[in-house]
């Protein structure tokens, strides 16, 4: 039995903790407030807490706090899963004694794993397009959106310049560039560039970009609004009683071949689709790493570094938990 420390008990963090409690391992949850869970709870500063006796640490704190946590944890000789999606990515860290697997969610995360599979199968990648979003099942007369994870991190998606690949080179474009209409499950939705490629920028490819998907009118309302971030946090508050879904398409092309994966989930048993699609990837990586302790060499690793058979098991875990992952 291993001891797992979970840092952060938000929508995704509490779901991951709950799922890990189904395993044979001892689970500890660290948060600034009490979270309703059967895990061993530690109320206080999750970053400065004693993690010396953990076998595996899962960092699920919001962006800037997550990066601060990694700076504190990097000196420990521990296995660390990072789900904080900080703007400052873990591969920039120095003097690292830990083994860190970062960006283990749906996108980035599963998207990276699918691109890695495509790179192996197609040999030479010519074009990769990732489209992803978590949204209410139906639009409304207001924002047609509610934030399934830290709203401040959502706002960062809308403001951070998007790094993409064009003609084999990294290009930086303004946030919300290339806004266009796409079809999702028979509905017209909007897609716009966001800075989600991160480690995938290191993969050899002629053209690559990630697009965030929203209902029409949402991003237009955001760009026309003068509301401050704290006001948006209030207006985008997640409502567990509102039906919602998460959808992702990963498409990869070579000169004469094309691979496409569609991932879809509508939530289950009161758990949001974003918590499930993100958290089930995290849980699978955690448990597989404990089962395969030599899965990764010491250092800092993006999801695409995972062995192919481990990626296959992550996908199997999603399907066994009723998340649709279809290759077409």
* Same domain membership, residue 22 and residue 137: no
CA–CA distance, 271 with 240 (Å, rounded to integer): 8
Q: What is the pTM of this model?
A: 0.95
Give the residue from 280, 247, 39 showing the smallest Cα distance to 135. Answer: 247
* Same domain membership, residue 154 and residue 89: no
* Same domain membership, residue 150 and residue 64: no
CA–CA distance, 311 with 295 (Å, rounded to integer): 11
Instruction: Give the distance from CA 176 to its chain's centroid.
Output: 19
CATH of residue 168's domain is 3.30.360.10
Quote the pLDDT of residue 155.
Answer: 86
* Same domain membership, residue 164 and residue 85: no
Sheet holding 56-59, edge to edge: 40-43, 26-31, 3-7, 56-59, 79-82, 99-102, 299-301
Enumerate residues 6+ apart whose C-beta is below 8 A from 203.
115, 116, 119, 125, 128, 304
Around Cβ 82, how many Cβ atoms within 10 Å?
A: 27
Quote the pLDDT of residue 125.
Answer: 95
Strand partners, 260: 251
Instruction: Give the distance from CA 90 to its chain's centroid.
Output: 14
Per residue of the chain (328 residues), give pLDDT as tens. Answer: 999 999 999 999 999 999 999 999 999 999 999 888 899 999 999 999 999 999 999 999 988 899 999 999 999 999 999 999 998 999 999 999 999 999 999 999 999 999 999 999 998 899 999 999 999 999 999 999 998 877 778 888 899 999 999 999 999 999 899 999 999 999 999 999 999 999 999 999 999 999 999 999 999 999 999 888 888 888 999 999 999 999 999 999 998 999 999 999 999 999 999 999 999 999 999 999 999 999 999 999 999 999 999 999 999 999 999 999 999 8
Which domain-ending residue is among 273, 293, 319?
273
Quote the pLDDT of residue 245.
Answer: 97
Enumerate residues 6+ apart whose C-beta is below 8 A from 220.
none
Quote the pLDDT of residue 220.
Answer: 97
CA–CA distance, 30 with 42 (Å, rounded to integer): 5
Q: Report how many domains make up the chain.
A: 2
Quote the pLDDT of residue 233.
Answer: 85
* Same domain membership, residue 147 and residue 68: no
Quote the pLDDT of residue 148.
Answer: 80
Q: How many helices (H) and strands (E) does the chain have?
A: 8, 16
**Does residue 284 form part of some domain?**
no
Strand-pair category, 79-82 with 99-102: parallel
Instruction: Give the distance from CA 306 to its chain's centroid.
Output: 16
* Same domain membership, residue 60 and residue 10: yes
Q: How many residues does the chain have?
A: 328
* Same domain membership, residue 69 and residue 13: yes
List the domain range (segments joined by +) for residue 54: 3-102
* Same domain membership, residue 185 and residue 120: yes
* Same domain membership, residue 127 and residue 62: no
**Does residue 66 form part of some domain?**
yes
């Amino acid at each position: 039995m291993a001891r797992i420390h979970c840092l952060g008990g938000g929508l995704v963090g509490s779901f991951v903790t709950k799922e890990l409690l189904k395993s044979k391992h001892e689970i500890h949850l660290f948060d600034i407030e009490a979270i309703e869970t059967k895990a061993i709870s530690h109320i206080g500063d999750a970053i400065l807490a004693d993690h010396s006796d953990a076998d595996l640490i899962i960092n699920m704190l919001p962006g800037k706090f997550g990066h601060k946590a990694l700076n504190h944890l990097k000196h420990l000789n521990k296995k660390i899963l990072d789900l904080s999606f900080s703007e400052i990515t873990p591969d920039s860290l120095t003097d690292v004694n830990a083994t860190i697997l970062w960006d283990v969610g749906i996108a980035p995360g599963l998207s990276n794993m699918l691109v890695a599979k495509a790179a192996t199968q197609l040999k030479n990648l010519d074009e990769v397009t990732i489209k992803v979003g978590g949204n209410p099942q139906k639009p409304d007369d207001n924002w047609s959106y509610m934030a399934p994870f830290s709203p401040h991190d959502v706002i960062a998606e809308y403001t951070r310049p998007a790094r993409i690949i064009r003609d084999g080179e990294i290009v930086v474009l303004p946030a919300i560039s290339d806004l266009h209409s796409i079809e999702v499950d028979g509905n017209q939705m909007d897609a716009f560039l966001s800075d989600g490629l991160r480690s995938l920028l290191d993969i050899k490819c002629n053209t690559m970009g990630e697009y965030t998907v929203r209902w029409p009118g949402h991003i237009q309302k955001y760009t026309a609004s003068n509301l401050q971030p704290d006001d948006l946090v209030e207006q985008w508050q997640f409502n567990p009683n509102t039906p919602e879904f998460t959808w992702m398409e990963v498409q990869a092309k070579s000169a004469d071949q094309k691979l496409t994966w569609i991932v879809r989930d509508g939530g289950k048993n009161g758990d949001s689709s974003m918590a499930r699609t993100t958290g089930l990837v995290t849980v699978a990586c955690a448990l597989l790493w404990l089962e395969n302790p030599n899965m990764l060499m010491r250092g800092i690793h993006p999801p695409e570094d995972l062995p192919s058979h481990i990626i296959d098991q992550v996908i199997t875990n999603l399907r066994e938990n009723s998340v649709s992952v279809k290759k077409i």
